[in-house]
Amino acid sequence: MASSSKAVTIDDLRRLALRRLPKFVSQPLETGSGRGEGPARNVAGFADLRFLPRTLSGHHTPNLSTPLFGKQYDQPFGITPIGYADYYRRNADLELAQAAREANIPFVLSGGSIACLEAIRKIAPQQTWFQLYGARDPAITRDIVRRAQNAGIEVLVLTVDIPVSPKNDWLTRRGIKLPAHVPARQLPFVAWQLLSHPRWTRDLIAAGGFPTMESWRQYAGARANAPQIYTYYRSQVPCPLSWRDVESLRNLWGGKLIVKGVLRGEDAVRALDLGADAVTVSNHGGNLLDCLPSSLEMLPTVREAVGDRIPVFFDGGIRRVKPQGILRLTHESAQESVEKACVQFDALGRHQAEVRPAEAARA
């Protein structure tokens, strides 16, 4: 397959992306932490799930438009937060925002983005949501929230499923630390990867080297270069969070609030009680703690706990953006409903999905 125009599934896009990216970039994306069991478990969860259709329903043209938080989106698809996205593809944040605007779907800008949130909000004013990583310095967290409010962001996604920094076995064995630390013994390997992936290398050179996290520049210092800003960001994120932080954020933030990273039903209920407008069932793509259950495994528990009181989003493991993938998100506790999926793509071609209960699909 030579181009994305010939791709049939997301897995096709994933394979294309793996061919484009050097292994020291693609390997941690593909396997996450440890040996890669977390992402693999998310994918495997769909293999045993079946969709039981209702026949003779009389419906021929499905309506995929999705009302959510007072807006009408054209598709039940959204774009997930992708940290440091320009590292994988030049100008990725900008291109994703443009795509979201043209398709009228939500775009969740990562709290670890290259482009600043103010610039992205101008590109897609009706579609941009913002993901918040709590910083170890609470003053930074408050300032980011202030910036989001001033920029006109209406939906804030507080991510709580990042308790530790990822530790990839493959990178650890080689001594490589992203974005730019390479031990001398690995220089020949890295040089070969750069030469054998010319498009990625060309984009890196054209951008002047590793991309700068403009969203964090002002906190790291005006004279900090790209690796220094990234290092400062990693000194602030991840940050240990508690329910008190959720409560404080709810008091600080006047817009819609999603708590992302819930796997327990009781945690979803507590988020609801503290004022969350939605929750996302997520294990962060399985790429931080490889011992966690799959997101799909925990979806029924969370939906049962909160009922229909709030939207329940979902991410992790889908490989087909077709009925085979989307309809498998149907929840057995909502037999009269078809769960609408907000399928989200990341720069590697892997994707995640968010799900919220649709209106009852009449049989």
Do the domain assignments include residue 188?
no
Which residues make Cβ contacts (< 8 Å) with residue 129, sequence separation at least 6?
A: 106, 107, 108, 109, 153, 154, 155, 156, 157, 258
Provide the 8-state DSSP code for 177. B
pLDDT at residue 237, as a whole number: 93
Query: 100 pLDDT band (50/70/90 cuts)?
Result: very high
Mean pLDDT of the chain: 83
The count of other CB atoms within 10 Å of the CB of residue 185 is 9
Query: 325 pLDDT band (50/70/90 cuts)?
Result: very low
Do the domain assignments include residue 203?
no
Give the mean model confidence (pLDDT) for residues 70-95: 89
Give the tens place of pLDDT for each residue, 170-190.
888 889 887 778 899 999 999
Q: Provide the b/e sequence for 305-327 (b: ≥16 CB within 10 Å).
A: bbeeebbbbbbbbbbbbeeebbb
Do the domain assignments include residue 101?
yes
Do the domain assignments include residue 208?
no
The count of other CB atoms within 10 Å of the CB of residue 174 is 18
Residues in the chain: 363
Give the tens place of pLDDT for each residue, 2-20.
577 788 877 888 888 889 9
DSSP bridge pairs for 156? 130, 257
DSSP H/E element including 185:
none
Query: 321 pLDDT band (50/70/90 cuts)?
Result: low
Do the domain assignments include residue 21?
yes
Pull the structure tokens for residue 283: 């294990």
Which segments within the chain are labelled E, that is strand? 66-68, 71-73, 107-109, 128-132, 155-159, 256-262, 278-281, 312-314, 337-345, 351-360
* Segment among 43-52, 259-268, 270-279, 282-291 with least mean pLDDT: 43-52
Region for residue 245 given its phi and psi (left: phi exceeds 0; alpha: psi -120 to 50; beta: otherwise): alpha
81 contacts 313 by C-beta, under 8 angstroms: no
Instruction: Give the whole-angstrom CA distance, residue 302 versus residue 286.
Output: 18
Do the domain assignments include residue 299?
yes
Give the tens place of pLDDT for each residue, 224-233.
999 899 999 9
Instruction: Give the whole-angstrom CA distance, residue 361 versus residue 312.
Output: 18
**106: helix, strand or coil:** coil
pLDDT at residue 349, as a whole number: 35
pLDDT at residue 159, as a whole number: 95
Dihedral of the alpha carbons of 186, 192, 198, 200, in degrees to the nearest 10 = -20
Instruction: Give the whole-angstrom CA distance, residue 38 versus residue 32.
Output: 7
Sign of CA dihedral 145, 148, 152, 158: negative
Give the tens place of pLDDT for each residue, 342-354.
333 333 333 333 3
Instruction: Give the whole-angstrom CA distance, residue 231 versus residue 251.
Output: 30
CATH number assigned to the domain comprising residue 149:
3.20.20.70
DSSP bridge pairs for 155? 256
Q: Judge whether residue 283 has pLDDT over 60.
A: yes
DSSP bridge pairs for 257? 156
Give the mean model confidence (pLDDT) for residues 301-324: 81
Pull the structure tokens for residue 137: 């310095």
Number of alpha carbons in the 13 Å side-chain half-sphere of residue 263? 18
Do the domain assignments include residue 342?
yes
Q: How many folded domains does the chain comprise?
A: 1
Instruction: Give the whole-angstrom CA distance, residue 84 versus residue 124.
Output: 19
Q: Where in the sequence is the domain holding 104, given as residue range(s)?
A: 4-50+75-167+234-360
Do the domain assignments include residue 196?
no
Which residues make Cβ contacts (< 8 Å) with residue 52, sequence separation at least 6?
A: none
Closest to 167 (Cα-Cα) out of 289, 45, 249, 46: 289
